[in-house]
Structure 1
């Protein structure tokens, strides 16, 4: 892949409560279905990262976030075999509501997991992003040839 003009961007929410992270099992998305990730979504364009995080939290988990409770904790420039991404990772420790699976057609399960006890079936780049988060690494590149 050379000079791909379609760089996509997404926001991924690290919803953390008492040292536990909310995970989402992907289903019927066409990408990494059956594996665990976090509440996330593409930026629609014309919206700030924090606003995209608020929208995705409500769309996917029924949670209402306040702008001041969203902290950007990392960025990843990621390459797959078919596209290129700029991923933003945000930490949220306070919200209104209890998480519910608001998109059962895209998610088969929501579950809490200890940050240091991630299941084996977490999406690979997400596992790396969570490691970066735990280790204070703010920027990373992933999927690029060495």
Structure 2
């Protein structure tokens, strides 16, 4: 009998960068981290390359188009939340179109903030990923210190 392989959620997060600022979206009406800031992000749909997912999320959430060549892979995080996850982080300073709140049913504010002066209610792992980006640290584990090991 074959054992079922472990599977985990995989997401991509997009850092839209303008000078020393990053675009944050305040989550609303989603049931996850509502009232807190994140960046454009979403799960990979399966059979979808990471940069393709970032481009899709940029269009869905911010109404902009991004050339894949302008995306830079800037980080990976192995994260323990309510389950185990892998998060990819990509950044760009180039896009076409005007940034708008294209999902007002899931986001109630878009704001440019200085990466050195993030608001206190940025989702903690996103805050850590932005700090890693500023430090040029490519990989991190997050949330594992809370894990309770049962032997």
Q: Check whether TM > 0.5.
A: yes
1:65/1:94 contact within 8 Å kept:
yes
* Structure 1 residue 98: Cα displacement: 1.4
Q: Corresponding residue for 1:29?
A: 30
Size of the aligned set, in residue pairs, is 143
Q: 3-state SS of the aligned residue for 1:129?
A: helix
Q: Corresponding residue for 2:129?
A: 129
Distance 1:138 1:6 in 2: 23
Per-residue CA deviation, residues 31-90 of structure 1 (Å, 9 max, x unaligned), is 11000010101100101000000000000000100010000000000001x211100000
Q: Corresponding residue for 2:72?
A: 71
The TM-score normalised by the length of structure 1 is 0.94
**Cα RMSD between the aligned structures?**
1.5
Q: 3-state SS of the aligned residue for 2:69?
A: helix
* Structure 1 residue 4: Cα displacement: 9.1
Larger radius of gyration: 2
Distance 1:130 1:17 in 2: 14
* Structure 1 residue 6: Cα displacement: 3.8
Q: Corresponding residue for 2:149?
A: none
1:16/1:93 contact within 8 Å kept:
yes
Give ranges in structure 2 of 5+ residues lacking alignment.
Answer: 147-151
The TM-score normalised by the length of structure 2 is 0.91
Gap change, CA 1:5 and 1:71, over 3 Å in 2: same
1:4/1:84 contact within 8 Å kept:
no
Q: Corresponding residue for 1:102?
A: 102
Distance 1:40 1:23 in 2: 11
1:6/1:83 contact within 8 Å kept:
no
